[in-house]
Every structure is written in structure tokens, then in C-alpha cells.
Structure 1
Amino acid sequence: MTYFAKPRLLRPDTPRNSLGYTRRDYEGAISTLCAGCGHDSISAAVVQACFDLEIEPHRVAKLSGIGCSSKTPDYFLGNSHGFNTTHGRMPSVLTGAALANRDLLYLGVSGDGDSASIGIGQFAHAMRRGVNMTYIVENNGVYGLTKGQFSATADKGSKSKRGVVNNDTPIDLVALALQLGASYVARSFSGDKEQLIPLIKGAMRHRGPAFIDVISPCVTFNNHAGST
């Protein structure tokens, strides 16, 4: 796929917040995700939320695990702190960073495979311990990097492109977060920026564990009639 670099020059009337930053100052590298991926819409929502909140990028520490979702922190807040952890272990690394430096705003980005499967224990204890963070799961129900196997959040009865039917009951991360004591819990859709941006802004202003489950359809493996 061919990507075009963003022009360096800005129009004189480009909107700026009170810090003098433009939206470009909150962006990152060019995305290498599939064209039309809902995760890119989530990245754009994070950019807009931080621009609106007038957050200095260097005050943010963004952490992720492994998966398509965990690639996205490279696509926003290019001038912030960042660390890409091992599969499912983002919450523990974020917890350690937050203990070492309480002055930063912590943004954890994960996926349904990263948080609901291999990392479900890490997710549960981060919620239970009340870690001060914004935790976003970009939920598409598949393992996109490993060719579309069902994740633990995939709907029962959904079919894969290969015709395999998912017979397992899905894990509801929102219900789990509520049960474990998260104090800000929401679910949204990657294509609904009017809903998603305010939710991200609310999460980043919140003190305590803020969790947002964002349904983000996979345009490569869940783009067929059998997928729910």
C-alpha cells in the first residue's frame, strides 16, 4: 500500500489551542494499518480529544501490548512518552511507570486479544487496584495480525472467513471492569466520533481507572456476511 507523507507547511488559518498547538502537533507517524481500519478512527479521536483538552504531548505516557491495536500509539501523540510491551502485559508495565512518576497522564491502548485473552489477568488486577489511567481497548473480535482467529470477545455464532463457527461465549470487558471496581466505564464505536471524543476526554480528565471498550470492525477479516 502506498502512503503519502503529510505536508510540512500549514495554512495560516490552521486552528490552534491556547497552547499554540495545532492538531498536527498531536499526530504521529503515518498509519500502516489496512485502509478503512476502525483503529485509525480511534487514533483520530485521541488526537482531537488531547487537542481540545489542551494537553501538552510530553505530559502523556502511552503504553501498549501486541496486536493491530497496539500499533496505533505510534500514530498519535508523536512527542509523548511511549513504550510497547509484550503481549498482554501492558497494564503491569503501566502500573510500574505510574508508581515511578505520578505527574504523567497514562494512556494504555490494547486490543481484545491482548486484554481479554492472554492479558485478562493483567486487565483484571489493573482495574481492581484502581490504577490512575485511561485504558482503551480497540475491540474487533479477531486476531488481525495472525490471520483472523476469533478472540475472546467474538460473538457466539459468528463465522470466520474460513467458515469456522465460534461456539464460545464472549467475554464482556465492560461488565468485567464494572465488577472489578473501575470508576469510569464506557463503550463506544470507532465510527461515531461525536460520541467517542467526549468519552475519551472524560476518561483523560478522570482520576482513577477509566476504561473504554471501543467496537472497531476489522475490514479484512470481519467484512463478510457471516461475521457479527
Structure 2
Amino acid sequence: MSYAKSTFRHPSLQPNQLGYDKRAYEGALSTLCAGCGHDSVGAAIVQACFEANIEPHKVAKISGIGCSSKTPAYFLGKSHGFNSVHGRMPSVATGANMANRDMIYLGVSGDGDTASIGFGQFAHVNRRNLNMLYLVENNGCYGLTKGQDSATTDVGSVSKKGQANPFTAIDLCATALEMGATFVARSFSGDKAQLVPLIKAALRHPGFAFIDVLSPCVTFNNTTTSTKSYDYVRDHVAATGAIDVIPMQQEITTDYQPGSSHEVTLHDGSVVHLYKGDVDLDVTCKVSAQEAIRRHQLEGAVLTGLLYMDPQSRDFHQMINSVKGPLRDLDEAALCPGQKALDAINASFR
């Protein structure tokens, strides 16, 4: 049996500032299980890119292996894409980013692809502060291979197989903070109102932006005894607050109740406005973010929202002083500067 995705859209569907309607950001028909949280994440990415006025052909979406790594096929169908080897997405993203710094890099991974076979690569892409959004669709199990526990499964969590996990879980947000990420957030696939602005902020951030999205597996890990289930996350969620992303020169408006707030201005003049729910959290302080994560873990709560952002972030290109613009645009004079330039380089190593 074959399926075709409907091309019908409401005739009053409004385009964004670039003239694109939402269809330009959609992809192929999803083959994931009905109700899978990953599809909600994909819908949030579509909405975020549409609202952020991103040109689809300027996005490079990269993934590894797993249910999560299939999802880039289901959004941004007019973007560039590369489905890499299991756990090796960061290497491909790094190479592409070095060759063309003008693209927007969106890496999509899973808890197995990142926290198990790809854990070493995840650590190094963090510390290099590569300019990309790295999004993990975290369901605490290997959904593509029948639901085995993953490295992010909490101690005592029981999936469909009926056995409690005996091992300590890896907290990907805490790991990202420790390894050098300059933007760290956590969200829930069932909370689109929170996830969309987080994605918009992460796409604008100059450096490595990491979002851990709890995305329950409806087939293997959505039991009442699983800490990654819809019910558990909804019952135990605690948010750092709500955020707006205000583009440069746009009036700040919000529907949130007034209270403690914090603003961070990005490199392009846009402003991330955080309406804080956790008054003890300073999102510009890494230690404060680490303490908040740990405090909520001890209380049995899942902390979501913006956890940390470095307003002084310098991405990998700035660190290594790479050439400006894509490598394909370099002419012969830039690629072969002559003997004097070579002598100067050699002298610098003596």
C-alpha cells in the first residue's frame, strides 16, 4: 500500500517575510509510529524556521542512525541533507561547516546515536563550539531495534519489556554544559509553545546550541513506569520560564505575565527575552545551570526551558581564525598566496 501526502493548504495561508508559506518548510510523509513525539519535534522545527524567516535552501540538516535520525526527511524538504553513519553526525557537520560557514547547520540525533556510540564525537563538537543546532530526540530507548534501554534511561525506569533499568543515566544537558556548549536547553515534544522559541533562539546563537527534547516512544517506552513517558513528563515537568525571540528592530510584545525577566542580545541584534519561573537560575552562568539541573533531579522533577546561554560565545571559526566565506569562493590568489606566505607560515612553527 502506498500513501501520498496531501498538497492541499488553506487558500488564506499567509507567507512569512521572505514570501515562503509553511509548505516550503515541510518534508516527506512520516513513516514513524502514529503519535510518535518525533513528529511533533519536526512540526516545531517547521514552525520555528517559518517564523524565523529562514531560507530553506540555506539549511543543512544532518543526522546519524535511529528513529530520530530518520526525521529530517519529514521536514525542510527543500534543504540540503546528509544521513551519516551511526554516531558520526558531528564529524560530517564539522566538515561541512568548515567548508561553508554561510549555511545554517541543524543536526538531529537520538539518545542512542548521541549518548552511546556517538558519545565521544558529541563531547568534541561541544568543546569546539561548532556553530550549529544539535537537537536530540530523547526517548530513553532504542526504538528502531525494539526498545532496549539507552544510556539516558533513568535508574529504575521500566519500559514495555517490564524490567527496571539498573544503570545510572547520562544527563545530556549536564554533559553539554560540562563539555563547553554555549547554549543549552531542554524541552518536551508535547510542549510546542516552549519548543518553538527555543529552536528559534538556538538557530540564531553563534556557537554550539544544544537542545535535549524528551520525545516519548509510544510503542516501547510510554508505560506508566517509564520516566520518559508522556504522563511522567507532564506530571513532573518544571520550567525555567518562558522565552520570546525578538528579531532586531521589532517591538517586544508578549502574552506572559510580568515577573522576573532576563534579556540576552545576540550577535545579529535579536533579543532573547526570558520570563523566569526559577528565580534561582541565572541563564548566563554555567554553574547556576548545573546546580539547577541537579536540584530538580533530586526533587524528581524534569527541568525544561532555556538553561544556559553564553552571550559572549565565540564559535569555532572565530577560535581558529578561518577564512571568511565558503571555501568554494576562494580564488587562486587566496589558495596559492606564494612563496613569501609559505615561508612566513613555516617560520611561525620554528
TM-score (norm 2): 0.63
Number of the residue aligned with 1:49: 48
Q: Do 2:136 and 2:211's aligned partners in 1 also have CA atoms closer than 8 Å?
A: yes
Q: Do 1:188 and 1:214's aligned partners in 2 also have CA atoms closer than 8 Å?
A: yes
Number of the residue aligned with 1:126: 125
Specify the SS of the correspondent of 1:127.
Answer: helix
Letter in 2 for 1:103: D
Q: Structure 2 CA distance, aligned partners of 1:224 and 1:190?
A: 17
Letter in 2 for 1:76: F
Structure 2 portions without partners, runs of 5+: 228-350
Q: Structure 2 CA distance, aligned partners of 1:67 and 1:182?
A: 23
Q: Do 1:142 and 1:151's aligned partners in 2 also have CA atoms closer than 8 Å?
A: yes
1:32-63 CA-to-partner distances (Å, cap 9, x unmatched) read 00000000000000000000011110000000
1:133-160 CA-to-partner distances (Å, cap 9, x unmatched) read 0000000000001100000000100123
Q: Structure 1 CA distance, aligned partners of 2:2 and 2:50?
A: 24
1:24 equivalent to 2:23? Answer yes
Number of the residue aligned with 1:116: 115
Work out the percentage of aligned pairs sharing the same amino acid. Answer: 70
TM-score (norm 1): 0.97
Q: Structure 2 CA distance, aligned partners of 1:150 and 1:162?
A: 10
1:12 equivalent to 2:11? Answer yes
Query: Runs of at least 4 residues of structure 1 off by over 4 A?
Result: none
TM-aligned CA deviation for residue 164 of structure 1: 2.0
Q: Structure 2 CA distance, aligned partners of 1:85 and 1:177?
A: 21
Q: Structure 1 CA distance, aligned partners of 2:92 and 2:118?
A: 12
Q: Structure 1 CA distance, aligned partners of 2:208 and 2:180?
A: 8
Note the aligned Cα RMSD (angstroms).
1.2
Number of the residue aligned with 2:210: 211
Q: Do 2:182 and 2:207's aligned partners in 1 also have CA atoms closer than 8 Å?
A: yes
Q: Structure 2 CA distance, aligned partners of 1:198 and 1:209?
A: 17
Equivalent residues in 2 for 1:167-206, closer than 5 Å:
167-206=166-205
Q: Structure 2 CA distance, aligned partners of 1:162 and 1:11?
A: 44
Q: Do 1:3 and 1:30's aligned partners in 2 also have CA atoms closer than 8 Å?
A: no
Specify the SS of the correspondent of 2:116.
Answer: helix
Structure whose CA Rg is larger: 2
TM-aligned CA deviation for residue 224 of structure 1: 1.9
Q: Structure 2 CA distance, aligned partners of 1:26 and 1:175?
A: 31
1:94-126 CA-to-partner distances (Å, cap 9, x unmatched) read 001000111100000000000000000000000
TM-aligned CA deviation for residue 9 of structure 1: 4.1
Letter in 2 for 1:24: R
Specify the SS of the correspondent of 2:210.
Answer: strand
Letter in 1 for 2:160: K
Aligned residues: 227
Number of the residue aligned with 1:79: 78
Q: Structure 2 CA distance, aligned partners of 1:41 and 1:120?
A: 25
Structure 1 portions without partners, runs of 5+: none
Given the superposition, is the C-alpha separation of residues 9 and 159 from structure 1 closer, same or farther in structure 2, using an over 3 Å criterion?
Answer: closer
1:59-107 CA-to-partner distances (Å, cap 9, x unmatched) read 0000000000000000000000000001000001100100011110000
Q: Structure 2 CA distance, aligned partners of 1:90 and 1:73?
A: 13
Q: Do 2:159 and 2:222's aligned partners in 1 also have CA atoms closer than 8 Å?
A: no
